[in-house]
A and B are shown apart, each in its own frame.
Chain A
Amino acid sequence: MRYVSLALQYRVGIILGLTLIVSAMLVPGYVSATTLSLGLDRAATIGLIAIGLTVLLIAGQIDLSAGSVFALAGIVSIMLQPQLGILPAAAAGVVVGMVAGAINGALVVGLKVHSLVLTLATMLIFRSIAHWITDSQPVTGTDIMFSLALAQIYLDVFTVRSALFVAFILLLHFWLTRTIPGRNVFAVGSNAVAAEESGIASGRILFFGFVFAGTLAGLAGVLQSLVTNTGSPVFGSTLIVTVIAAVVVGGTRIEGGKGSALGTLGGVLTIGALTVAMEFQSVPAYVQQVVSGFILILLVVLDRTVNTRRKAAADRPAFVQGNPIKQGGSA
């Protein structure tokens, strides 16, 4: 039983290891610096969004609009290039993500509604705006050379965005484990009322959680658009399933209160490794969808069954202890 729980604790590592081993056996030329850096680069897009989503999920919320924010921020960063130049336009794109996140956060905290339904609505709204401002046509940037520079591989492994992703995830790990605001996120996620009673401004934490998630989705969108030199209103429409899958594979619980940055790193790398392996074997896109959906369901179910059993075991003694107190209170 101890081995089982140990295996469960480090299951991300096990899943990642298995994925890499199986891919290496099936796909010729998989274990090379180029392939791995390609995988990392592909994973970086998912990863940047996953960083934001990890914080939100730990806080017990979710953002389904990330895919739409991704598209919208990318479009803005491309469309403003002629007026502002490349870098200011990119910054504007990230700001769009930030604003989108702030809208989500303000509505969720202000109206006190379930973030699932609310971000479902804003997902529709942001996607509509993306179609609106582009006339549903893809837009192209001004300078293809910049895209090529951005997609270049440095030090044999890193592209700009994969380096950004790895840096951010390490920062997130530090923030979540070593700082007070980071710890407060966990508190809000496990019990918002209790956190509020202990003097944590849970509303503010949730709001900034959404702003953070929106900013990162925007950043991911801007980088994607810069690398492909294109902004398209259909970008990222199926992205959110993959991102949620990556975060959940990493052991972050959808119900909040539990999760880790390094787990998300593992989850993102697993999804990236899997995607590259399937692309090398020219597996059709819809089969890839099936695989990522399947992994998501499998892991969530696994997580649920393990947690329910553990919780049931933990509940019993507490109930017995709680009994006398209740009697005392009534007497």
Chain B
Amino acid sequence: MTDGVAGVAHMKSGDRFTRGSKAVEALSKAGLLIAILAVVLYGSIANAAFFSTGNFLNVLTSMSIVGIVVVGMTFVLVVGGLADLSVPATIACGAILSLGLQPMIGPVPSFVVAVALAGAIGLLNGMLVGYFGVNPIIATLGVGTIGLGIVQAAVGGVIVYGTNPASAELVKGRLFGIPVVALIFAAIAIVGHFVLSRSFWGRWTLATGGNYSAAEASAVPVRAVKAGAFVITGLAAGISGGLLGLTLQSARPLVGTGYEFSAITAVVVGGVSIIGGFGSVPRAIAGLVFVQLLTNVMVLEGVRTPVQGFVLGTLIVCAVGMDAALRKRGGA
């Protein structure tokens, strides 16, 4: 509301604002690392169980499932799509189908079908947001409700169990001592990082989120790019849901509840701008690591679940507020 006035003030003191913004930039980058170190330090002192291989492997495994969604969600936020709230539905879709279809078509095809269907839900989101210009929150909330309803109706609201122990063993197994799930997450994160930071698609994504009209005028296919971010999130959530289902060997329709918040929290805490145009996969993952370690410490210290939700919600507010404050100082 007072942005216009602030902008003029910044123009006058151009060099000072640049220096200030550099310091802020450095702080925002290092701040997260310091925070992670602080949590690790506190955890190691407060609880003997924290600094152990077993605990870190646990954190890594649970982090990987959310992390795959985080990679997709980063694209949604960077492209200026606010958030994808249909993630619980796409995760449920991935988990239920990859288990439920096993007796009919085998584990691998059912996983592929599950991910493809989750991608289709993402495509529907993308069409609504990118091509029809529907508000992303409304579109994904609506599509998520529909998707979840259909998934529930399809299995009659009951729990689906896995029938193929071999696939479960594969997903739960380890390669060179690292959980397979974590390796899959690492692969997806690396691919996501390179797509966002090194490829034409990533440049388009950043351009679209930064300035939609300018990107459109520069012949960036803005609608497709915007839709694409939601397809990526749909696919990622489908993969994440499939892995979750295979790990647990059972899937409820509400299995994905809360994952959208975990993913958004991680991305926002990582310092990816909510209004788009700025952010990277490593930043989002740093946010994820911080949130996961914090949650882990809280669990080890016996903090109750609702309190954890409270802390995470407060964390989002702080991160969002900080983002707004930094943006104001940067004059953008």
Binding site for B on A (CB under 8 A): 62, 64, 107, 111-114, 116-118, 120-125, 127-132, 136, 192-193, 196, 202-203, 238, 240-241, 244-245, 248, 254-255, 284, 286-290, 292-294, 296-297, 300-301, 304-305, 308
Cross-chain pairs A/B with CB under 8 angstroms, 30 sampled = A112-B1, A112-B328, A114-B82, A116-B83, A117-B316, A124-B261, A124-B313, A125-B313, A125-B317, A128-B308, A131-B305, A131-B306, A193-B3, A193-B4, A196-B1, A202-B1, A238-B145, A241-B141, A286-B148, A287-B153, A288-B149, A292-B145, A293-B142, A293-B143, A293-B149, A296-B145, A297-B142, A300-B128, A301-B132, A308-B133
Q: Report the bound CA distance from A210 to B82 in whole Å.
A: 21
Contacts of B249-278 to chain A: CB distance below 8 A: 253, 261, 264, 268, 274-275
- 3 tightest A-B CB contacts, nearest first: A128-B309, A293-B145, A125-B313
A203 touches B1 (CB 8 A): yes
Is B152 in the interface zone, CB < 8 Å from A?
yes
- Chain B's closest residue to A307 (CB) is B133
B149 touches A289 (CB 8 A): yes
Segment from B200-208, B280-288, B318-326 that makes contact with A = B318-326
Q: Report the bound CA distance from A88 to B82 in whole Å.
A: 41
Q: Report the bound CA distance from A326 to B268 in whole Å.
A: 41
**Residues in chain A near residue B314, CB distance under 8 A:** 121, 125
B1 touches A117 (CB 8 A): no
A117 touches which of B149, B152, B320, B328 (Cβ 8 Å) = B320
- Chain A's closest residue to B310 (CB) is A128
**Residues in chain A near residue B305, CB distance under 8 A:** 131, 136
B221 CB to closest chain A CB, in angstroms? Answer: 18
Is B146 in the interface zone, CB < 8 Å from A?
yes
Is B68 in the interface zone, CB < 8 Å from A?
no
A246 CB to closest chain B CB, in angstroms? Answer: 13
- Chain A's closest residue to B264 (CB) is A120
Contacts of B126-157 to chain A: CB distance below 8 A: 128, 132-135, 137-139, 141-146, 148-150, 152-153, 157
**Residues in chain A near residue B309, CB distance under 8 A:** 124-125, 127-128, 131
**Residues in chain A near residue B141, CB distance under 8 A:** 240-241, 244, 293, 296
- Chain B's closest residue to A123 (CB) is B313
B146 touches A290 (CB 8 A): yes
Asked if A121 meets B320 with Cβ closer than 8 Å, knowing A113-B274, A116-B83, the reply is yes
Q: Contacts A117-B274, A124-B309, A301-B132 given; 11 further ones with Cβ under 8 A?
A: A64-B137, A116-B137, A125-B313, A136-B305, A136-B306, A193-B3, A254-B138, A297-B134, A300-B139, A301-B128, A304-B132
Interface centre among A117, A192, A241, A305 (most CB of B within 10 A): A117
A294 touches B146 (CB 8 A): yes
**Residues in chain A near residue B316, CB distance under 8 A:** 117, 120-121, 124
A282 CB to closest chain B CB, in angstroms? Answer: 14
**Residues in chain B near residue A192, CB distance under 8 A:** 1
A255 touches B135 (CB 8 A): yes
**Residues in chain A near residue B157, CB distance under 8 A:** 284, 286
Interface centre among B148, B274, B310 (most CB of A within 10 A): B310
**Residues in chain A near residue B2, CB distance under 8 A:** 196
- Chain A's closest residue to B4 (CB) is A193
Q: Is the interface of A mostly helix, strand, loop or mixed?
A: helix
B321 touches A107 (CB 8 A): yes
B176 CB to closest chain A CB, in angstroms? Answer: 37
- Chain A's closest residue to B312 (CB) is A124
- Chain A's closest residue to B311 (CB) is A128
A113 touches B320 (CB 8 A): yes
Asked if A113 meets B324 with Cβ closer than 8 Å, knowing A131-B306, A244-B138, A290-B146, the reply is yes
A98 CB to closest chain B CB, in angstroms? Answer: 19
- Chain B's closest residue to A111 (CB) is B321
Q: Report the bound CA distance from A247 to B142 in whole Å.
A: 14
**Residues in chain A near residue B134, CB distance under 8 A:** 297, 300-301, 304
B320 touches A111 (CB 8 A): yes
A110 CB to closest chain B CB, in angstroms? Answer: 8
B320 touches which of A118, A123, A125 (Cβ 8 Å) = A118
A121 touches B83 (CB 8 A): no
- Chain B's closest residue to A196 (CB) is B1
- Chain B's closest residue to A290 (CB) is B149
B153 touches A300 (CB 8 A): no
B36 CB to closest chain A CB, in angstroms? Answer: 21
- Chain A's closest residue to B261 (CB) is A124
B317 CB to closest chain A CB, in angstroms? Answer: 5
A132 touches B317 (CB 8 A): no
B261 touches which of A120, A241, A286, A294 (Cβ 8 Å) = A120
A129 touches B306 (CB 8 A): yes
B310 touches which of A116, A117, A132, A289 (Cβ 8 Å) = A132
B2 CB to closest chain A CB, in angstroms? Answer: 8
Q: Report the bound CA distance from A136 to B128 in whole Å.
A: 36
- Chain A's closest residue to B268 (CB) is A117
Over the window 1-26 of chain B, the binary record of Cβ atoms lying under 8 Å from chain A Cβ atoms (1 yes, 0 no) is 11110000000000000000000000
A229 CB to closest chain B CB, in angstroms? Answer: 23
- Chain B's closest residue to A297 (CB) is B142
**Residues in chain B near residue A127, CB distance under 8 A:** 309
**Residues in chain A near residue B304, CB distance under 8 A:** 132
Q: Report the bound CA distance from A290 to B138 in whole Å.
A: 14
Is B332 in the interface zone, CB < 8 Å from A?
no
A167 CB to closest chain B CB, in angstroms? Answer: 29
Asked if A297 meets B143 with Cβ closer than 8 Å, knowing A120-B316, A129-B310, the reply is yes
**Residues in chain B near residue A111, CB distance under 8 A:** 317, 320-321, 324-325
Q: Report the bound CA distance from A258 to B110 in whole Å.
A: 46
Is B307 in the interface zone, CB < 8 Å from A?
yes
A193 touches B1 (CB 8 A): yes
